[in-house]
Structure 1
Amino acid sequence: MEKFKLYKQATNTIPETHQTWPLYGSCLEKLGYLGKTVEVKVPTYNQNELLARIDAVSLCYSDVKQINLGNKHPRLLDRDLQKNPIVPGHEVSLTIVGVGEELASKYKIGDRYTLQPDIWFKGKSIPFCHGIDGGYRHYTKIGKEILHGDAGNYLIPIPDEMSYAAAAITEPWACVEAAYRMEYRNHLLDKGSLWLIGCGKSRQGYQLGDLLEQAIPREIVLTDLREDITKQIKDVCNIKKIPVYIKELDVVLNSEQLFDDVLVLDCSSATINRASKKMNKGAVLAILCGKPAEKTIEIDLGRLHYDNIYFVGTTTLNLADAYKQTNPRVTLKPKGITWILGAGGPMGRMHLQRAIEAKNSPDLIIASEVTEDRFESLKNFFLPMAEQHKKRLIVVNPKGESYRYSEVMSRVMEEGGVDDLEVMVAVVQVIAESLQYLAEKGVVNLFAGLKRGVCVEMDPWLIYGPKQVRFIGHSGSGLDDQKAVVEKAVSGELKPELSVAAVGGLNQIADGIRAMENRLFAGKIVIYPHVLDFPLTACSEFKEKDPGIYNTLGKGETWTKEAEEVFLQKGLS
């Protein structure tokens, strides 16, 4: 293992040039030059900077989106990629190989880190792989943007005991972790903008309750409210010195104004749909109505996922009840029923693993998948894991075994319904059909990313009626989320490397992108940049291709630190 030991020490001479995969346009053919890497100079670093070796980069489906969209990607709209290309890749494991003089007391050669890629510096977003060249290369410079960013140091220390693959995969695991760490309001946004909308059918007798006690809006707009509630609001606002404006519905709808809180009192579904278009990022829309709706409403799934909008409601006449009747819950309900819809993909498998390994876990976990090979992989991998953790897991294929699926869901409804619906599929019809199985106070967590403007039609009675269903969604992760994942991995509570499905060398990145597009692997693909050329290989394929590596795999043909070391010993150039 001499070659690997020298690599780990990170004392080798840094070459003048290295290989990279720059993106020059909007398709896979624009990644690199003529389908190959591009040789460029290794970044130089000054006394306040570091040079890091990229030991592993995990491929993400957002890489596929970035490559296919190019400068049409929302984060690359102002960038001329032909003249100023960007290197993709944001899930990385790093080793420090160069230390600037002024950083010598804090860093040393051989220190290992992972990186939170959502980098903000002086109020500007410069993500690693969108604003800063990413991980599809050998080396990267670590400058002030990363070391002294708005959230602190975006480098996260990694112990030697953790494999390079595990360190890289802490980033997608952080996205999973973030989905269970979100925060939603059960009150108005302080210093926010509030819009209350009534209509001719609005009930009499509405009360403010303590709506204006916990938070004070900077302004309130009233539209078509009855005189009794209008007077209450004006009296309180006069004391608290909150500006109040009376505006017609169409005037507000045709304005540029957005609101942080929107309360709709007994209005039609059409009015709710129109009002929801005026929600700011992170806004709450509260539906107050005393009876079931006559028609469905539309909920923008893209905005749920990317903009964290939130819907609440109540049948009572207390405005504050809309927020407080059901407090936001983002963690899986202990001893409840969790359904992971579309569990067979890389992220779905992470959610499933987390549910099984969780300390305060659900009593029953349903994992559904319609793709046959992914369905079989779920059964083979996770049923033994669930048994080991003494968890009740049902893996079902709604398409391939429809009768059994119906039986399973009937049994779920007999037990009260689904408490947590974790959505991994971006198919509106499938999402809409799944809502019928929700329990009282069930939570729908939209993890799958859909474009803004993609809506699902649903009965709003689910939200404001006795079921009190809540919809949440999240995109990406933050520094604290990834630190939490690293802590779990170090403590042994989480094994990120179990997510690895296939590995390859730097020259195989394009093959990895195609594999994700074609859904060839159920788990994550990890590329080792300093192995220049190694065909993309599933863990199970090592049995035939390299028994030496295969014999170091873990239970269930899973990637291990030992397998990684043998792989690198054989593959390092």
Structure 2
Amino acid sequence: MIPTTQTAIQLVGPSQLARVDDKPVHRPGPTQILGKVSCVGLCFSDMKLLKQFDGHARKSPVLAHLGEEVLKEIPSYVPNDKPTVPGHEVVIEVIEVGNKVTSVQAGRKYLVQADWRDLKTAGSNGAFGYNFEGGLQQYVLLDERTTVAADGTNYLIPADEARSVSATALVEPWACVEQAFIHFERRNLSPGGTVLLVRGPGAEQANVDIDTSVSGKRLCLDLGQACTPPAGFTCIGLDAIANGSINDCLFAGADAALFESLVPKLATNAVTLIATHGQSFGRPVSTPVGRVHYGNLRFVGASGASFAAAQAKIPATGEVRKGDRVHVVGAAGPMGSMATIRLVSSGIDGIAVEASDMATDRLAVLRRKAEKVAQAKGVPCHLYNPKEEQAEGAPDYVMMMVPVGPLVAAAVTQTNPGGIINIFAGIAAEVHQDLDLDAYVTKGLYFIGTSGSTMEDMEAVLAKVNAGELDTNLSVGAVSGMAGAIEGLEAVRDGKVAGKILVYPELGDFPMTSLEDLVQQFPSIAPLLDDGDWTKAAEEELLRLVAQGV
């Protein structure tokens, strides 16, 4: 029987969470889907939404694909300052559908792909758990007009009933980790975009040695001297360039102040090719490290006069290469643990993994989980606390899991020539960091950063889970009912749990409990764990015990 009200966790304002025990359960209209929430993984991104609330890019109104009249028909559409329900790592069981729904079946479980990219907002897109209510409630109403994309892609992915709902729910964060490695990098100028040539002091005669014919607009920055642009380029003053309008920047020379003045002009996904013409910046340069992650900005350079030489250093993807020594900085948090386990499981020849974290207790948990996989795969793996030990070698690849700008600066200094620095952690978009850009260019380093995941990432990870090639449950650290959800979010914020926290709404008033404490409370669960790690059998036993009131 479907109840008329339910328990939910609502975000009602900046840093304001509330448990609501009388939230209405909406029955589905003709195009709508009512899901019973099976499992929700808590994520640090929930805390970003909690802090920013209606200032978050994914809390703003939908501007494309669906009109306002359609959106008004969806009770779970909650843009701007309307209260929302967080939780985007979710498995639901469909229990009722409208008569026009064809994409799902009642009685089946589905993994929600939370990033609804057709539904464009001013700065991002619509998303489950943001401007559409998410999974921290017992029941959630979805609409097929949002869960099926314009190209027919279904954002509700059938779950394999042979797997635990936890393993399936955790596909979403693991897919974000996967995306960080397999993201395809743009290695040519943006078709139809705007390219800006900047000839700084000492590089006034710089030549363009790459094909710019694909660009829709070719501009040459007028620095107040006689501007003689290359053929096909038009001179323009800095003040005449709109912020966020440049898709590609060809920066000749090494004038730090000039470089810094151009950064606001860069569009999302912009690539800056730097040819220093043998010059040095001579001081730390303020660099938008936050926009590498959230705005997909890319910077790559060469010490000579060739933009083509800089462009040639862009890797095809963010993947670790054969023989790389990889440093994972902040490895023992939930996402860092996933990245570490993904690396030692990857099968890439000759790699070595060094994973550091200053939380000794969390590092011990990661050591138990990661080292057994590393040993099975034959991957050298060194886990250490940087307050007590040092890395065994300089990195070729850095996975930055801590949103701290100075650590990015340190990575530029420490990373070997040709290295990749993957800024996975969500440093705020407005954050700049003073960097040794001379070292960055001279060593041929490359920043990469991604946010979220694609449907392809989700499907790739889910296929690995269903094939038994990846155990996403290795990342589980604690479980909870609705009663412990707010405490769980606070634990995510404060880094108190070494692993992911799962909320099972049907556990009701069951508090947040670590796996270590869980087996003390329920001894029958202990033998069902896999060397201390969460399993489908343990999940089923916990649900059975709580349902019986044990």
Q: Same fold (TM over 0.5)?
A: yes
Deviation at 1:379, TM superposition (A): 2.4
- Structure 2 unaligned runs (5+)? 62-76
Deviation at 1:498, TM superposition (A): 1.0
Question: Which residue does the alignment assign to 1:5?
Answer: none
Aligned-partner Cα distance in 1 for 2:446–2:458? 26
Tell me how many residue pairs correspond in the alignment. Answer: 528
1:71–1:122 Cα change, 3 Å: closer
Question: Which residue does the alignment assign to 2:237?
Answer: 248
Q: How does 1:159-178 map to 2 (within 5 A)?
A: 159-178=160-179
- My pick for the range that moved more, 389-398 or 374-383, is 374-383
- My pick for the range that moved more, 160-169 or 338-347, is 160-169
Aligned-partner Cα distance in 2 for 1:525–1:356? 23
Aligned-partner Cα distance in 2 for 1:131–1:532? 25
Is contact 1:355-1:362 (8 Å) kept? Answer: no
1:94–1:436 Cα change, 3 Å: same
Is contact 1:258-1:280 (8 Å) kept? Answer: yes
Question: Which residue does the alignment assign to 1:544?
Answer: 520
Is contact 1:198-1:264 (8 Å) kept? Answer: yes
1:443–1:25 Cα change, 3 Å: same
Q: 1:298 aligns with which of 271, 286, 289?
A: 286
Question: Which residue does the alignment assign to 1:283?
Answer: 270
Please state whether the residue corresponding to 1:185 is helix, strand or coil.
coil
- My pick for the range that moved more, 109-118 or 323-332, is 323-332
- Aligned pair 1:110/2:107, yes or no? yes
Is contact 2:256-2:285 (8 Å) kept? Answer: yes
Deviation at 1:271, TM superposition (A): 1.1
- Aligned pair 1:274/2:261, yes or no? yes
- Aligned pair 1:340/2:328, yes or no? yes
1:503–1:358 Cα change, 3 Å: same
TM-score, length of structure 2 as denominator length:
0.90
Question: Which residue does the alignment assign to 1:91?
Answer: 89
Q: How does 1:85-484 map to 2 (within 5 A)?
A: 85-103=83-101, 107-121=104-118, 123-124=120-121, 125-150=125-150, 152-202=153-203, 204=205, 206-213=206-213, 215-224=214-223, 230=228, 233-234=230-231, 237=232, 244-249=233-238, 251-252=239-240, 255-256=242-243, 258-291=245-278, 292-360=280-348, 363-399=351-387, 401=388, 404-405=389-390, 408-409=391-392, 412=393, 417-465=394-442, 467-484=443-460
Aligned-partner Cα distance in 1 for 2:368–2:29? 51
Please state whether the residue corresponding to 1:31 is helix, strand or coil.
strand
AA of the residue aligned to 1:359: G
Q: 2:496 aligns with which of 509, 520, 541?
A: 520
Please state whether the residue corresponding to 2:48 is helix, strand or coil.
helix
Please state whether the residue corresponding to 1:338 is helix, strand or coil.
strand
AA of the residue aligned to 1:168: A
AA of the residue aligned to 1:284: V
1:312–1:529 Cα change, 3 Å: same
Aligned-partner Cα distance in 2 for 1:286–1:83? 40
CA-atom RMSD in angstroms: 2.5
Compare CA radii of gyration and give the structure with the larger one. Answer: 1
| 1:156-181: CA deviation from partner (whole Å, max 9, x where unpaired) | 11111111111111111111111112
Aligned-partner Cα distance in 2 for 1:55–1:344? 27
Please state whether the residue corresponding to 1:221 is helix, strand or coil.
strand
Q: How does 1:490-501 map to 2 (within 5 A)?
A: 490-501=466-477
Deviation at 1:306, TM superposition (A): 0.1
- My pick for the range that moved more, 305-314 or 82-91, is 82-91
Aligned-partner Cα distance in 1 for 2:417–2:376? 30
1:328–1:223 Cα change, 3 Å: farther
Question: Which residue does the alignment assign to 2:17?
Answer: 31
- Aligned pair 1:571/2:543, yes or no? no
Aligned-partner Cα distance in 1 for 2:161–2:281? 58
